[in-house]
Amino acid sequence: MEKACLCCKEKIKGRSDKKFCGDACRNEFHNTKNSPYNSLVRNTNRRLKKNYRILAEVTLVGGKGRITKSNLIYKVFFFDLFTSIYKTQKGNDYYFIYDLGYLKIAPDLFVVVQKFK
């Protein structure tokens, strides 16, 4: 029984359990199969990095800063993307992107803090 490559459909030579004719076909097959997932992860990470850069711009040497909501919107900040939430004893929620977090302190004002380890 002759087997065909799962990618290019060429005849396979070699081991009986071989699925691809070579590394190029194996890589192309798996990259094509995983591309929707890889694209989602890549786009999410790109947006998280952008959010991080925006927060890092306003974080001062002491690890704190302030920024307005309108300024965040202008810089295209993605409010729905963050890596963790920290709930204080007072019930406030800090939304963190890695080590930088923000808290809404007024309708149009956020405080930005840096979590030190």
Sheet with 93-97, side-by-side order of all strands: 64-68, 109-114, 100-106, 93-97, 84-87
Residue 117: the pLDDT is 55
Locate 21 and state its tokens: 């004719």
> d(Cα 45, Cα 55) in Å, to the nearest integer?
15
> What does the pLDDT read at residue 31?
86
**Helix residue ranges, H only, the chain:** 23-58, 69-74
What is the residue-level pLDDT of the chain in tens, covering all 117 positions? Answer: 678 999 999 898 888 889 999 999 999 998 888 787 788 888 999 999 999 999 999 887 678 899 999 999 999 999 999 999 999 999 999 999 999 999 999 999 999 999 875
